Amino acid sequence: MQGVNVKSEIGNLKKVILHRPGDELLNLTPNTLEELLFDDIPFLEVAQAEHDAFADILRNEGTEVVYLEDLMAEVIDGNPELREQFLDQWIYEAGIRTDIYKNIIKDYINSEYAGTKDMVMKTMAGINLQELPGSDTHLLVDMVSDRCKLVCAPMPNLYFTRDPFAMIGNGVSINRMYAHTRNRETIYGDYIFRYHPDFAGTPTYYDRNDTFHIEGGDILNINDHVLAIGISQRTEPDAIDAIAHNVFNDETSSIDTILAFNIPNNRAMMHLDTVFTQIDYDKFTIHPGIMGPLTVFEITPDGKGGTKIRERDEDLESILTEYVGQPVQLIPCGGGDRIAAEREQWNDGSNTLCVRPGTVVVYQRNNVTNDVLYKNGINCLEMPSAELSRGRGGPRCMSMPAWREAL
């Protein structure tokens, strides 16, 4: 499985990239929750056990599970000269600009985290002031700062591997994230898709240094010809224009239509995959709030190297029926019960990961939605989620498929 191959949301899942939550969650504090995009502090030990259960479910379904941290460590082990370049880049992107602190931090990491994977995990976990050697810097800021102050912020959202980069057919979008605190996460994908032997040479349809924001939760592969992207709180239409241009002008891509869904801008519908996800050839889970007229823009090549855009104002069912190629059934989160829907949507009831047509990984806690799925013939693989769900993301958010079999 050299390269990537994701031309649907439901094809048999053969390879997936995860990140096991690490010490970055221990650097979450009540005072930094809003900045780091969390509503609460997960209990790390339980979160890791839940994540391990998730990985085991996937392995039992025949999926190869690879970890982001291992891929990054393999890049540097295979190219030792990249270690210093990576550390310099990571320190700069963490906001460290003074030479004295650049040197202190680099010396600290190289001395205390000489092992490659240990170093990678430490860059994800972050550094607070009290960890650094107590030598006198003669800086006023150090004399007045709380010793618990974060010098390099953690990346607690990394276990949502869907967002920093996203597979599009046989290519990848390495994203520019909406929030500064998450934009640093894409550094790992940048190195992996440049240097890892399993992924180097993958066509890149968007780059982390491009201007506009886009996140992987807004990118859904409908089939080998149709790509859906959400215009959302975290994805700008300009980024979709750029991806459309790059995809349509890549001779190796079979995609000839991009559907840009203009979804409401709120936290409950943060990304397109919190609004609907495909779970079978003809079935989708949906957020009830998206029912009714929906503005969708159909983007296609104009035959001259550019694009043409047609606005569609039909309901979601009609649009999906047209592009999926058969009548579709929309299964609402919470089974249509408003209170259950609001509660379970908060815990990503419609954010499921399909491992093959009709078989999906779901959060155990969304029992109302799961019962509805069972009654509609869907095989639900339930995973524990008491702590992982505090990060406001479901099984799809926590996974980045790298290879799916053709339908």
Catalytic residues: 397
Distance (Å, whole) CA 128 – CA 69? 21
> Using H for helix, E for strand and C for coil, what is the string for 335-374?
HHCHHHHHHHHHCCCCCCEEEECCEEEEECCCHHHHHHHH
Nearest to 280 by CA among 349, 332, 362, 357: 357
* Cβ partners under 8 Å of residue 386, min gap 6: 46, 50, 365
Tokens of 70: 């291992």
Torsion of CA 379, 383, 388, 394, to 10 degrees: -10
CA distance 334 to 152: 40
DSSP states of 17-82: EE----GGGGG--TTTTTTTT-SS---HHHHHHHHHHHHHHHHHTTPEEEEHHHHHHHHHHH-TTH
C-beta separation of 354 from 394 below 8 A: no
Q: Is residue 155 packed enough to be buried (19+ CB in 10 Å), middle (13-18) or exposed (0-12)? A: buried
Question: Cβ distance 309 to 262 under 8 Å?
Answer: no
Q: What residues does 286 pair with on adjacent strands?
A: 276, 332
* Burial class of residue 198 (count of CB atoms within 10 Å of its CB; 0-12, 13-18, 19+): middle
Using alpha carbons only, give the angle 282, 284, 287 rounded to the nearest 5 degrees. 155
End-to-end Cα spacing for the chain: 17
Whether residue 163 contacts residue 19, with contact meaning beta carbons closer than 8 Å, is answered with no
Helices (H), 153-306: 180-183, 186-195, 237-248
CA Rg value for the chain: 21
Cα 14 from chain centre? 18
Residue listed under structure tokens 């409908």: 222
